[in-house]
């Protein structure tokens, strides 16, 4: 699940390593 969120972020042009997005995959999983 977390990997898919990272792929979506990359697809829309976001950097998944950016400070505000680092925990996003874990938050989405909840």
pLDDT digits (tens, 9 = 90+) for 9-18: 888 887 867 7
Q: What is the pTM of this model?
A: 0.55
Q: Which residue range forms the structural domain that includes residue 1?
A: 1-30
Residue 7 per-residue DSSP state: H
Whole-number mean pLDDT of the chain?
Answer: 76
- Specify the residue for token string 């972020």: 9
Residue 29: per-residue pLDDT: 65
Rounded Cα distance between 18 and 27, Å, is: 15
- 3: phi then psi, degrees, rounded to nearest 5: -65, -40
Query: What percent of the chain has a predicted confidence (pLDDT) above 90?
Result: 0
Query: Structurally, how many domains does the chain consist of?
Result: 1
Residue 1: per-residue pLDDT: 75
């Amino acid at each position: 699940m977390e990997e898919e969120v990272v792929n979506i972020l990359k697809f829309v042009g976001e950097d998944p390593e950016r400070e505000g997005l680092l925990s996003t995959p874990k938050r989405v999983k909840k």
